[in-house]
Structure 1
Amino acid sequence: MAEEELQMEEGGKKSKLMIIIIAVVVLIIGGGAAYYFLMGSEEPAPVVEDGAAVAGSEGTDNAASANTSLVKTGTALYVAMPRPFTFNAPGATRDRYVEIKVQLMMRGSDNEEQVKMHIPLIEGTLLTSFSTANADDLATEAGKTAIRANALKEVQRIMADLTGNQIVEEVLFTGFVMQ
């Protein structure tokens, strides 16, 4: 009976050793794969601006120099409008209640200060721009893109009149509710 217990203990040690060896092999393979994917390429990824690759590795010198003017410099800063814009939008079948939360993107702390100083005028301009929208158009992605582009154009026009520069680079919808 003592010999049977001794044989069972040796079999248990072998299975534990096999499990440990398999776990170590899996960890080594996983670590190698993680290193490969995280540190694999020394070449920088191309910057995409408006759907075109800028200064990519496949581009010629002429294409790269022509497209570098598209790259915006400086840190992007965001100014949130203090209140969401709420308005009624007329539709073909019924009117809809719309609430839009907006942030403005610009570059440079001087531009951020200019935008913060003129928030009441920007809010009025955005509300005027949004209130011309149709509920049927706002129900589609193309309609949302169009109203955002129109709002950007109007804000840039107002800021150009005030400061001489367009300052605002993007009008971003951070919340959009239509009932």
Structure 2
Amino acid sequence: MAEEELKMEEGGKKKKLIIIIIAAVVLLAGGGAAAYFLLGDSEEVTTEVVEGEAESTEEATASAPSQSGSALYVAMPRPFVFNVPGSTRDRLVEIKVQLMLRGYDNEEQIKMHIPSIEGALLRVFSTANADDLVTEAGKIAIRDSALKEVQKKMQEITGKQLVEEVLFTGFVMQ
């Protein structure tokens, strides 16, 4: 009887060991596949998109900021939180903004003039309407007017537009 118990315990240990080994192999294979798909392909897609955007913006206008160098992003230090009137009720909006520009010199100038840029963005955001911001077209319109206002402000201060895009990295409306 003691021999049967020992055999059963040894068989149970072997099954547990096999299950643990199989689980470890599946986990490693899944992790490797996930790393390959997440890290491997994203660089190629990003490069193609940035090159395509650069070509289309170069053709758009000659007065646009210089297209030399890689794209740099400067985040505004605080999100913009403000009230907007709507037809039924007022809404609270929070927008996180980043500015796309090119060149490290331009980045330093932008960082030096962040308070002026924030003021320009607040002027644009204060003219918004909740009914417009609900639609995609309204968001695009306010983003475009924000870009024009920031470029105008930078033209006044530095003599160059510097900023290529105003990007909304977070947009919440309650």
TM (norm. structure 1) is 0.64
Which residue of 1 is the match for residue 45 of structure 2?
Answer: 47
**Distance of aligned partners of 1:11 and 1:164 in 2 relative to their CA distance in 1, 3 Å threshold:** same
State the secondary structure of the residue aligned to 1:169: strand
State how far apart, in whole Å, the 1-side matches of 2:86 and 2:30 are: 55
Which residue of 2 is the match for residue 135 of structure 1?
Answer: 130
Unaligned 5+ segments in structure 2 are 57-66
Unaligned 5+ segments in structure 1 are 56-65
How far 1:47 sits from its partner (Å)?
2.3
Which residue of 2 is the match for residue 16 of structure 1?
Answer: 13
Q: Tell me the amino acid that sits aligned with residue 163 of structure 2.
A: V
State how far apart, in whole Å, the 1-side matches of 2:138 and 2:78 are: 24
**Distance of aligned partners of 1:25 and 1:102 in 2 relative to their CA distance in 1, 3 Å threshold:** closer
How far 1:24 sits from its partner (Å)?
1.5
Q: What pairs with 1:79-158 in structure 2 (closer than 5 Å)?
A: 79-81=75-77, 84=80, 86=82, 88-96=83-91, 98=93, 100-158=95-153
How far 1:125 sits from its partner (Å)?
2.1
**Distance of aligned partners of 1:37 and 1:83 in 2 relative to their CA distance in 1, 3 Å threshold:** closer
State how far apart, in whole Å, the 2-side matches of 1:91 and 1:26 are: 55
Instruction: Point out which structure has higher relative CO (alpha carbons under 8 A, 6+ apart).
Output: 2
Give the one of 45, 62, 74 matched to 1:78. Answer: 74
Q: Which moved more, 1:140-149 or 1:97-106?
A: 97-106
- Checking the alignment, whether the CA contact within 8 Å between 1:77 and 1:109 is kept in structure 2 is no
State how far apart, in whole Å, the 2-side matches of 1:153 and 1:80 are: 17
Instruction: Calculate percent identity across the aligned residue pairs.
Output: 47
TM (norm. structure 2) is 0.66
Backbone CA RMSD of aligned residues = 3.6
**Distance of aligned partners of 1:23 and 1:112 in 2 relative to their CA distance in 1, 3 Å threshold:** same
How far 1:23 sits from its partner (Å)?
2.1
Q: Does 1:5 align with 2:5?
A: no
Which residue of 2 is the match for residue 159 of structure 1?
Answer: 154
- Checking the alignment, whether the CA contact within 8 Å between 1:100 and 1:177 is kept in structure 2 is yes
- Checking the alignment, whether the CA contact within 8 Å between 2:79 and 2:94 is kept in structure 1 is no
Which residue of 2 is the match for residue 62 of structure 1?
Answer: none
Deviation sequence 1:139-175 (CA, Å, 0-9, x none): 3343223212210122123323443432123323455
- Checking the alignment, whether the CA contact within 8 Å between 1:79 and 1:116 is kept in structure 2 is no
Deviation sequence 1:104-139 (CA, Å, 0-9, x none): 333433212212333343233222222222221123
How far 1:26 sits from its partner (Å)?
3.3
